[in-house]
Amino acid sequence: MTDTILSVRDLGKSFYIHDRAKHVPAAMGISFDLKPGQLAALVGPSGAGKSSLLKAIYRTYVPSSGQVLYRAATGGIVDLATAPETTITALRRAEIGFVTQFLHCLPRLSTLDVVARPLLQQGVARPAAHEKAARMLAALAIPQQLWDATPATFSGGERQRVNIARSFTQGGRLMLLDEPTASLDPVSRENVCAMIEAAKAGGVAMVGIFHDMGVVERLADVKIELRRKAFEDAA
């Protein structure tokens, strides 16, 4: 995989339902390759396993089967499905980012510090971290007068934009996006799409969940369609 940054092979995740005494598959047999600057879109109805698959790549969930072969910045290949937790933690901090659906942050922390925090944790000097965080907040149209306030006081759409700003401030060679354009107004959605396009142009590879097919047609290089039949088959 010399020109491939991520190679997913027969990836599957199932959950054990204790009261039914059986394993229920969330997503099974998923395979695709991703090069730097490409975006793979996970599409399909609610309950088809899109979030489970994304979390299996990030290793929030331990995959039940398959491989997630990631080419690290050093050039070495790491199977994210089986790598030690210390390796996963180091890659998350330096190379693999995740845009979650909901913002989780320390209470009373200012918006600017929330967005800059991943860089500060990497050892970046506070002025440089704040400068990049400010650029991201401005790009997503968060008014400067709000930067000293805590995001806990913001609307849902504003918190989502802060969440996206934080993830893109951290950056990475591979970014995983869990419905990044959901719950956003048209102007904010356009700003996020432009930010994704800029990251792709810079060589960042991405895997994302999308429900807006117009966004998928605009951004995706690879489309992986999941279906709910995995649950129906297990019933």
Considering the domain boundaries, does residue 95 fall inside one?
yes
Full residue range of the structural domain in which residue 89 is found: 37-62+84-225
Looking at residues 179-203, what average pLDDT do you find? 91
Q: What is the pLDDT of residues 126-157, one digit of tens each?
A: 999 999 999 999 998 899 999 999 888 888 88
Considering the domain boundaries, does residue 25 fall inside one?
no
Tokens found for residue 60: 């929030």
DSSP alpha helix (H) spans, 95-185: 111-121, 126-139, 156-170
pTM: 0.87
Domain of residue 219, CATH code: 3.40.50.300
What mean pLDDT, rounded, does the chain reach?
A: 88
Considering the domain boundaries, does residue 32 fall inside one?
no
| CA pseudo-torsion sign 185, 109, 178, 27 | negative
Q: How many domains does the chain have?
A: 1
**pLDDT over 90, % of the chain:** 58
- Residue 198, phi then psi, degrees to nearest 5: -65, -40
pLDDT at residue 221 tops 70: yes
